[in-house]
């Protein structure tokens, strides 16, 4: 019985370690090409910021959602959800 308890405790420890690594991997930001933004996000920028260009785009992953951060060459910063809908902006 003691041996099976030790095995169970060891397996629980391994499971916790694997979950911690998975959360760390999923919770990352990556700079991406502007072409990799959702179509709705690219259309929003083109329609609302004529002549504006995307200085950088970042894909933000956390455990529960994906979003995109976009900074334009005119200083505007926009945030989009995974579908390309605007969720926040700063000038």
57-70: pLDDT as tens digits: 999 998 889 999 99
Per 3-state DSSP, the chain is made up of helix, strand and coil in percentages (nearest 5) of: 40, 35, 25
Strand order in the sheet with 66-72: 28-32, 54-61, 66-72, 77-81, 86-90
5-55: pLDDT as tens digits: 777 666 666 666 555 555 555 567 899 999 999 999 999 999 999 888 999
Amino acid 10: pLDDT: 65
User: Which ranges of the chain does DSSP label H, i.e. alpha helix?
Assistant: 2-26, 39-48
């Amino acid at each position: 019985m003691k041996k099976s308890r030790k095995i169970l405790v060891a397996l629980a420890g391994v499971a916790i370690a694997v979950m911690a690594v998975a959360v760390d991997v999923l919770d990352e930001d990556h700079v991406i090409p502007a072409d990799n933004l959702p179509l709705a996000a690219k259309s929003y920028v083109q329609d609302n910021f004529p002549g504006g260009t995307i200085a950088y785009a970042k894909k933000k992953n956390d455990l529960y959602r994906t979003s995109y951060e976009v900074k334009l060459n005119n200083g505007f910063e926009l945030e989009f959800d995974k579908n390309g809908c605007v969720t926040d902006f700063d000038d």
